[in-house]
Amino acid sequence: MQSVNPYTESVRAEYDEHDDEAVEAALSRAIDAFGEWRERSLTDRRELLADAGEVLRDRDEEFAELMTEEMGKPISQARSEVEKCAWVCDYYAEHAAEHLQEKTVNGPKDAETYVRYDPLGPILAVMPWNFPLWQVFRFAAPHLTSGNVGLLKHASNVPGCAKVIEEVFSEAGYPEGVFQSLLVDSDQVEDVVADERVRAVTLTGSGPAGRAVAEQAGRNLKKSVLELGGSDPFVVLDDAPIDEAAETGARARTINSGQSCIAAKRFIVHDDVYDEFVEKFVAEMEALQVGDPKDDDTDVGPQAREDLLSDLQEQVEETVEMGATVETGGEPLDREGYFYPPTVLTDVPRDSPGAREELFGPAASVFRVESEEAAVELANDSQYGLGGSVWTTDLERGKEVAGRIDSGAVFVNELTKSDPRLPFGGVKESGYGRELGKEGIREFVNRKTVFVQHGVGDE
């Protein structure tokens, strides 16, 4: 399994893949570890998670550089990602006991009735390359702490990240087998999902991958959680603060070099402010610095793989051929590395890739609408429903519009982002289930009802 630096286009390292024998051994370790791990006190598990957060902080620069070398993330954003991983460890170390506390339910007066939250067992996590540490830690922090054990199948272009995540938990003192990385290809995933020792599966990735995993999980009667990306609307109403919307919009579209499921992708702008917004938005996009991802001043690095760059260009070309106008960008950069410039498309046809598909790179589609109602209608005219953003100076209006947008999250006067304190997930073809917050830690537990009848056998 090769790790290719997308900035230099050179192989930075090679890793031995796990064969079927190695996978079998890992599954055996996982089920053995679960038997003991589930009996560890929640206090112990929380303390170990806090220690994992400290390991992340102690090795933050090492991990940030690794992410930048494996998938091209600008180094400043890579450092922030490591810190966010430490934050999610801190959050569940502090709040897991509260989220997993037994819940008393009013029942018959002569009985004690409550719900407890028990772990399920080994959980398989199939994770993507775009946030190679954060996506894993937002899975592992809650679900290991609730008493499950984790098996990670990471994206094949970030094997180095997969290995160091395993090291974090080992260095923090987790028992062997509680968290393991499997360096396997996608063909082996089906067998792992089907294995009776694996009790549930979570996937963050593409729609086709999600459908395949969900089908396998359903066939084997196993719980699944899916986060399948999005094409988030960024709605600019007629009373929006245009300077702030344009500046934040450029960041929202190009974070992680545009390779984010919750990046703003469809900019839906009221006619009254359309020209002003487009002028300022294009200027903000053109002001972003594209270059060496290890340079602290770089805003946009390379795309993670050559095929991803090609896919994005095909989508942009087809959108333009169907009638869209290129305001800036629109062609891969003629230089070493998989670079695509910040791109703005206007006059985007509603049936073009720029409107109907997810553009996974720094290319924004801008739409003009005549009213608030038309803005909401267009925002919801998508197969996706992950996040969204609404811009207005009237906060009550913003909340009302947010309530009408069909997505898992809507932010008013802010870009869409994940937060350990808040549930995260989508609707429609963006998937189902929730990560993070109280809702996230309860996704992979047995919500067990306990009924204790009083008075039986009393003298």
Hey, what are 119's tokens?
């772990």
- Is 261 a residue of the active site? yes
Q: Mapping DSSP to helix (H, G, I), strand (E, B) and coil, where does residue 163 land? A: helix
Largest CA distance in the chain: 89
Q: Choose among 86, 97, 84: nearest CA to 46.
A: 97
Q: For 329, phi and psi rounded to 5 degrees?
A: 75, -145
How far is 440 from 4, CA to CA, in rounded Å? 33
Q: For 82, phi and psi rounded to 5 degrees?
A: -60, -45
Contact 142, 440 (CB under 8 A): yes
How far from each other are the two terminal CA atoms of the chain, in whole angstroms? 70
CA 37, chain centre distance (Å): 27
How far is 120 from 336, CA to CA, in rounded Å? 48
Q: Mapping DSSP to helix (H, G, I), strand (E, B) and coil, where does residue 134 land? A: helix
Q: DSSP code of 376? A: H
Q: Which of 85, 89, 161, 261 is catalytic?
A: 261
- Is 227 a residue of the active site? yes
Contact 352, 361 (CB under 8 A): no
Hey, what are 390's tokens?
């609404």
The full DSSP string for 175-188 is PTTSEEE----GGG
How far is 71 from 12, CA to CA, in rounded Å? 11
Ramachandran region, residue 86 (left: φ > 0; alpha: ψ -120 to 50; beta: rest): alpha
Q: Which of 81, 227, 358, 372 is catalytic?
A: 227
By annotation, the residues acting in catalysis are 227, 261
